[in-house]
Amino acid sequence: MSRSSELLKAAADALEEGSDPFHESFLGKHDVTADECFDLADSIAMGARLVAWATENPRQAAAFAASGSAGMAMETITKAIAKINLSGKADHDSR
């Protein structure tokens, strides 16, 4: 499992437990760097946008899921999401 996946899963666990994954206690416990913190925020935002889009577009979401997206690389998924124009922003690396 990649470091970014580990942090994202830990952040999801923290949120489910009612904790803030951007609080210094979480960041320190997981030795999160500033760049990782930005990436984590981008991933959480992308996930929230994707869930919102899927809620509003269940048929397209089902078709996307059925197309084999589970085996796609994160970069491919990110490009697909940008094509759907979920956020109106195609570039998440312009910090």
9-31: per-residue pLDDT in tens?
Answer: 999 999 999 999 999 999 999 99
The predicted pLDDT at position 89 comes to 44
pLDDT-derived band at 1, boundaries 50, 70, 90? confident
DSSP 13-24: HHHHTT--TTSH
62 contacts: CB under 8 Å, gap ≥ 6: none
pLDDT band at 93 (very low <50, low <70, confident <90, very high): very low
Query: For 4, what's the count of Cα atoms within 13 Å in the CB-facing half-sphere?
Result: 13
Say how far apart CA 47 and CA 85 lie, in whole Å: 14
DSSP 93: -
